[in-house]
Structure 1
Amino acid sequence: MLLQPEHAAHIQQLADLLKRNHLTELEIERSGVRIRLRHEPTVRATTTHTVETVQHPSTSSGTAPVAQAHQPADTDGLVTITSPIVGTFYRSPSPDADPYVEEGDYVRKGQVLCIVEAMKLMNEIESEADGRITKILAESTKPVEYGQPLFLIDPGATP
């Protein structure tokens, strides 16, 4: 298929939308033309020294507030991998598959650690550092917030 000028502009708009909303994949089909864009964003690794607790008031519908994972206070020297989006946290690629990583596993920079699903899009979250997973801070199949710590990695650990 030849790329028409109007298609190029549309593809650029979709690519900008993908990056602006921190999505990893976008697929659209119109008038028999299917466009699929994939972007591998880098997950920002940050070292945090404070923990913020957010209290959610219970709603009248009877649903319990979402339990927030508490990050251990002693994270000096550890790399914290946070969620780049709001979504559902999955430790494995499918319900019957083994988790991507376990506590104690040695990981390499760029290795997939988990998936965060947002609006039916599966976003692979990658390690930003070589090191050992010291703590998994989120529970599989539970919601996570933007910026919520997911993993602690000790970059000083060796394989």
Structure 2
Amino acid sequence: MDLRKLKTLIDLVSESNVSELEITEADGKVRIVKQSTAPAMVMAAHYPGQPMAHPAPAAPVAAAAPAAPVAEVITGHVVKSPMVGTFYRASNPGAKALADVGTVIKKGQSVCIIEAMKIMNEIESDVDGTVTKVFVENGQAVEYGQPLFIIE
């Protein structure tokens, strides 16, 4: 695998929500892991006929360093962003949020607005239930498929 291709893969991982990428090709295997405190880095690369490359040892971790985040178990229905844009909780500034934790939602009811290319798109719930979690802050950029709400 050439250096340009490897750099492109590292850049893609560092700029995306992907935390780990492993690619195996005929000429070798590469595994890229994004760490929360550092940009993406090549963890191991092995090419047939060459000795196994080992990553440089990591700096010692201070005793006061926060623990790695624990994966959260999600129960209920996740409402995901159908597009890339800017997330808004209300129809205009100062208005009451369309959906907040504890709000009872009916199928087809608007839960938020996503602005994309200066067009305001109302996002509707596809299930009945109660909002139990809001993942996104007002005015935050969202990506396609990003979780917005949990409705139980």
TM-score normalised by structure 2 residue count:
0.54
**1:101 match:** 99
Q: Distance in 2 between matches of 1:153 and 1:53?
A: 26
Q: Distance in 1 between matches of 2:133 and 2:19?
A: 19
Larger radius of gyration between Structure 1 and Structure 2: 2
Q: Distance in 1 between matches of 2:89 and 2:128?
A: 19
The structure where strand makes up a greater share of residues is 2
Structure 1 residues 102 and 120: CA distance shift in structure 2, 3 A:
same
**2:128 match:** 130
Q: Distance in 2 between matches of 1:52 and 1:108?
A: 33
Number of residues paired by the alignment? Answer: 90
Give the alignment's Cα RMSD to 1 decimal: 2.4
User: Out of 63, 72, 84, which is 1:86 matched to?
Assistant: 84
TM-score normalised by structure 1 residue count:
0.52
User: Out of 134, 139, 147, which is 1:141 matched to?
Assistant: 139
After superposition, residues 51-62 of structure 1 pair within 5 angstroms as 53=19
Q: Deviations over 1:29-88 (max 9, x none)?
A: xxxxxxxxxxxxxxxxxxxxxx9559696xxxxxxxxxxxx9x72213x10000000000
* Structure with higher RCO (Cα < 8 A, 6+ apart): 1
* Long gaps (5+) in structure 2: 1-16, 21-33, 40-68
Structure 1 residues 121 and 133: CA distance shift in structure 2, 3 A:
same
Q: Distance in 1 between matches of 2:122 and 2:79?
A: 12
